[in-house]
Amino acid sequence: MTETSALADAIARSFASREPRHAAVSPLHALGRRQLSGWEVLAQSVATTAPAASMVLLPLTMLTHQALASGLIAIVVATVFVTMIAWCTTQFTRRMVASGGFYAFVAKGLGTRAALAAGIAMAVKYLVSGALSLYSGGLAVITIAALCGIEIRGPATLAVYLVIAAVILVALLRGVRFAALAILVIEVCSLVFIIGLMMVSGVESTPLQPLPEGGSGMWLPVVLAALFALAGFESATFIGPEARRPMVTVTRTVLATPIICGTLFVFAGWAAWSGHADTLVGAYLHGTSTGVNPAVVALLHIGMCCSWLASSMASSNAASRLLYSMGVEGVLPRAFGVVHSGLRTPCVALVAAVSVLALVASALAAVGARPDWINVTLRVALLIAYVLVAASAVAFLSRIRESTPAIARIGCLGAAIGVAAIGFIVADHILDGRFAGLVAVVAVPVSATLWYRYLSRARPASLAAVGIFDSPGSEDVLPGSGAFAENARGDMALVGVDHPGAEQR
């Protein structure tokens, strides 16, 4: 009875309320808001990790480094750590919806400079890892063509990458729902291929030769491979404004992704330990020369190709939303904030993101190698972002007085583990005479500081806009049921009735 009466009163007030002088709109209103289902959000998040491809690469790392039991433990530990970071992330997704992901969350916890550092780290992660996925997917396409008797060499190789990039761009520009459904179908098919092949493969195969031991020992490559393979759960946060129930579906997806992928990777680790992965790894490395049926080799490369291309598409999607947010804020050129009027996709940001992926993948194809410093830089950048978001969760909840001992412990522990992992990677590589990790650790905060100083002089207003998030507009609130006032950016926004200058609408 009370709820019915309150609803009736609200409806009655709506007829008596005047039209607002200045309509309040969400800063993210140009996107196609409230259209993605929970399954589509999950597809975006899971596909970013390329689980099917990782289920082959993790056993490959374990077998070649002879880290079977220790490798399996490393996968479990990596899953626990990433789940801790995911839980810290949900402290934000339960309270706000932002297309900037970690970049916007860190702004609320640690401020603008830390947010810029997180934005740089996330941009590096998604643009470069998307390019590496595109490069690997292109190699798989070339391998599949060779199995069919078609040789692709020279300039034709670059054409393969450009065609794939064009297809990805068209799918992403077509609409976020179309892209999400395409990602879902591709990744499900690739997972069915890989899991099925792993289940039916025998335990007899040609033993793989271990790599020379170096640095910190055999288990480190497995730890790093598992950690990076699990990265991607946070991509769901970038499409939050486009989800139907963002605070529910994004939160569930962020927590579910590392658990789902971690379970798949533990299964792959078990397959490596028990010998069920030997045939697939041998087929991946040596094709039919190990006696594997050509059909198995073809299916393996098809599955991995689908997984890599889905990951590249999902990474492009996430990177475009990050660039879009920065464009809307004025941190990057405003052109990145342009949205296609009909398709409701950030067209300029998508073109820029896919172009970077195509350029890097083509360069790698021309060189014919994947430099080690790229992998190290990606892992360090990812860990920096994880440390920042864990620390931000603690600071943010403490400031709004919603912190609990569990949140404080998990956030601090996650940040400490991340810092220790960064230090371990840097120290290990320095001992081997490699300095890419050290350069990455220094470059991210230095770049953020220089960027901050430039913005403070050239566009100081943009610094106040960092960390925008989706908010109700006038059309989202029943007339007479909300109070609106200007926020720090000078835009009309929903506020409490006791806010100074609040106008009831």
DSSP per position, 55-72: HHHHHHHHHHTT-SHHHH
The DSSP annotation for 334-373 comes to GGGG---TTT-S-HHHHHHHHHHHHHHHHHHHHHTS--HH
Compute the distance between CA of residue 334 and CA of residue 120 in angstroms, rounded to an integer.
18
- Helix (H), strand (E) at residue 493: strand 492-495
For residue 455, tell me if it sits in a domain: no
Compute the distance between CA of residue 341 and CA of residue 326 in angstroms, rounded to an integer.
19
What is the Cα gyration radius of the chain? 24
Give the other-Cβ count within 10 Å of 212's Cβ.
6
Compute the distance between CA of residue 282 and CA of residue 469 in angstroms, rounded to an integer.
48
The pLDDT, as a whole number, for residue 280 is 79
Angle (CA) 364-48-389 rounded to 5° is 105
Encode pLDDT of 271-315 as tens digits: 888 877 777 788 888 777 777 778 778 888 888 888 899 899 999
- Helix (H), strand (E) at residue 104: helix 102-110
For residue 355, the enclosing domain spans 34-375
Encode pLDDT of 130-154 as tens digits: 999 999 999 989 988 888 888 888 8
For residue 318, tell me if it sits in a domain: yes
Residue 500: pLDDT band with limits 50, 70, 90: low
The more confidently predicted of residues 48 and 290 is 48
For residue 476, tell me if it sits in a domain: no
Encode pLDDT of 205-241 as tens digits: 444 444 444 434 467 778 888 888 998 899 999 998 9
Distance of CA 85 to the CA centre of its chain: 13
For residue 320, tell me if it sits in a domain: yes
User: pTM for this one?
Assistant: 0.88
The stretch 107-117 carries a mean pLDDT of: 95
Compute the distance between CA of residue 97 and CA of residue 150 in angstroms, rounded to an integer.
48
The pLDDT, as a whole number, for residue 188 is 82
Residue 117: pLDDT band with limits 50, 70, 90: very high
Of 178-182, 228-232, 379-383, 384-388, least confident by mean pLDDT is 178-182
The CATH number linked to 131 is 1.20.1740.10
Of 22-36, 213-227, 445-459, least confident by mean pLDDT is 213-227
Q: Report the percent of the chain where pLDDT is more than 90.
A: 45
CA dihedral angle for residue 166, residue 172, residue 174, residue 176, rounded to 10 degrees: 170
For β-strands 492-495 and 483-486, DSSP reports them as antiparallel
Report the number of distinct structural domains present in the chain. Answer: 1
Encode pLDDT of 308-358 as tens digits: 998 999 999 999 999 999 999 999 999 999 998 888 899 999 999 999 999
Q: For the chain, give the mean pLDDT.
A: 84
For residue 348, tell me if it sits in a domain: yes
pLDDT above 90: residue 25: no
> What's 307's DSSP letter?
H
Of 24-38, 322-336, 374-388, 420-434, least confident by mean pLDDT is 24-38
> What's 18's DSSP letter?
P
The pLDDT, as a whole number, for residue 203 is 45
pLDDT above 70: residue 198: yes
> What's 245's DSSP letter?
S
Of 13-22, 27-36, 407-416, least confident by mean pLDDT is 13-22
For residue 164, tell me if it sits in a domain: yes
For residue 8, tell me if it sits in a domain: no
Nearest CA among 220, 194, 205, 199 for reference residue 270:
199
For residue 418, tell me if it sits in a domain: no
Compute the distance between CA of residue 321 and CA of residue 468 in angstroms, rounded to an integer.
12
Nearest CA among 411, 218, 190 for reference residue 303:
190
Compute the distance between CA of residue 160 and CA of residue 158 in angstroms, rounded to an integer.
5
311 with 48: CB under 8 angstroms?
yes
The more confidently predicted of residues 202 and 114 is 114
Q: What does each C-alpha distance from 472 to 28, 190, 344 come to in angstroms?
A: 10, 39, 18
What six digits make up the tokens of 266?
A: 């533990």
